[in-house]
Every structure is written in C-alpha cells, then in structure tokens.
Amino acid sequence: MPSDRLENPQPQLDPEEIPWGPVLESGQTVEGEIESLLDRSMYSFDAEAGDEVRIEFARPGGSGEFYVGVFGPGAQLLAWETVEPDESTEFSGEIVDSGIHNVTVRTYYADAAGPYELAYVNEDRPPAEDPDEPVDPDDPEPDPEPEPDDIEPIEPGETRDGELDGFEDAALYSVLTGDPITVEVTRDGGSGTFGVGILDASFDVRAYAEGGPDETITVSTTPFEESDFTLGVIGADDDAAGAFTLEYFDEERDE
C-alpha cells in the first residue's frame, strides 16, 4: 500500500445510532466532497427485504483513493469498493433484511481529495417527486458488486484457502465476536504483495500488514465489545497473485 496511508483519527460509529446520515429517496442523486483524511460522508436509505436496489458512485476527478462501504441493519458490512479519480462503481442486489441501510464515503490516504456523486435507486419503490438526474446515465454500467454471500463467515480455528489475481482483488470473511482476533495468512509462492486487514463494523481498519511470496502475514486486534468484523486479504500491488491459506484465532499472537 502507499506509504502515505495514515490511521484515521475519527471516532467509531455507533451501530445503534440509526440513521447515520441524510435519508435518500429512490431516484435521488447527491453530490459531495472529501477534502482530507478527517472527512467522512454518510447517507442512509430505508429498504424492505426483497427490494432490488442500486447505488451508483462516481468520481469526476480529484486525487487518491476513496473507500465506499454499504452497511445493513445493525452495521453489518454488506459490500465495499475502492474508487480512483475519474472512475465509477455500482452496488446492486436484493435486500436481505428490512430496515435502515447506510453508505459511507471516506479515505485512508493523506493525499486523497475531490468531489463525488452518489445515486440511490430502489426498483421496487417509486422515485422521489423531483429526483436529480442519474449519475453518468450515458456511461456503460460497471460490473455489479458481489452479493453479501461473497463475504464468507469463519469461526475460530477454521482455515480458508484462496487465491488472488491482481491489484485490489480481495477475499473477505466475516466474524461476530468480542474476543481477541488474530489472522494468519500464509502464502504459497506467487508474486507481488498481499495486504491482510481487520475492519470493524464502521469500516475502520483495526489492524493491517503486508507480505510477499512464501511469507506468513499476521495481524491482531482486541474488540471493545462484541461486534461484526471483516477479515480481508487483498492484492496490494499490480503483481499481486497466487494462493494463500488464512487461519483465524480468537486470541492475540505476536505479529
């Protein structure tokens, strides 16, 4: 990862503080701007189980890398994506649990800043009376974001075998715990650099480390209370490729 990556000093989000931001209506488009590492934009939408929803996010210029996260009721991380300047992405799928959902836009890099546009559409609800124009309606639609089922649950003592193929390719695993978390990722050959991280329910990075081929990468953290966490293995450079084995422990270990 770039050397200018800094720990974000923002306070933790309270999962019970619902909604996290302005509630969007179907068909509504909002414009915003991230000016520094301290900035975070938050939006909410209300959806019922079975609704087909779509969130479009675009960056017309700027610098650095933005993170966009979508959370379900109870601050459960459903999907996330990184977006570079002059790029766009889309999250789409069927809502599993009824209730308030939240979207966060933020960065973890000191040099990242610039404007963005975010549009929310619920195919099963009529649009707002005077919705804004959709984001980049003439652009080809990006590939849909993976469904929540692609974030695989894992229990203490279990292992998962996986493989990455390129920069920002990722394997994600979910845990619900209040115990210490340790993740060990062992690489079997391959190339480039892999990053291993532990993210909390607010999508804050609680621990992160990187390693090369044939190395074991270890990260640990201790939760403040029982909550949802995401364990991630991600390609950290253009040459990142190869197999890995991830093991999750409910105890702290030396990194």
Residue 63 pLDDT > 70: yes
Q: What would the mean pLDDT of 130-156 be, rounded to a whole number? A: 55
Give Rg (Cα) of the chain: 18
Which of 144, 160, 179 is where one domain is finished?
Answer: 144
Inside any domain, residue 15: no
CB 187 within 8 Å of CB 244: yes
Domain extent at residue 99: 28-144
Q: Is residue 3 part of a domain?
A: no
Indicate if 169 and 235 belong to the same structural domain.
yes
pLDDT digits (tens, 9 = 90+) for 145-184: 444 446 889 999 999 999 999 887 889 999 998 899 999 9
Which comes out higher in pLDDT, residue 56 or 136?
56
Token code pair at residue 35: 């000016």
> Does residue 2 sit within a domain?
no
**Spatial distance between the Cα atoms of 62 and 244, rounded to a whole number of angstroms:** 35
| pLDDT attached to residue 128 | 54
pTM attached to this predicted model: 0.48
233 assigned to some structural domain: yes
Q: For the chain, what is the domain count?
A: 2
Tens digit of each residue's pLDDT (9 = 90 or more) over 78-99: 899 999 999 999 999 999 999 8
Q: How confident is the model at residue 12 (pLDDT cuts 50, 70, 90)?
A: very low
- CATH at residue 90: 2.60.120.380
Rounded to the nearest angstrom, the gap between the alpha carbon of residue 247 and the centroid of all alpha carbons in its chain is 21
CB 181 within 8 A of CB 198: yes
Range picked from 16-20, 94-98, 137-141, 242-246 for highest mean pLDDT: 242-246
Is residue 53 domain-shared with residue 123, that is, in the same domain? yes
Q: What is the mean pLDDT of the chain?
A: 82
4 found inside a domain: no
* One domain for residues 172 and 128: no
Closest by CA to 116, choosing from 142, 136, 141, 144, is 136
Q: Are residues 162 and 131 in the same domain?
A: no
- Place 76 in a pLDDT band, splitting at 50, 70 and 90: confident
Domain boundary among 120, 144, 168: 144
Q: State the first-to-last Cα distance of the chain, in angstroms, to the nearest integer.
A: 18
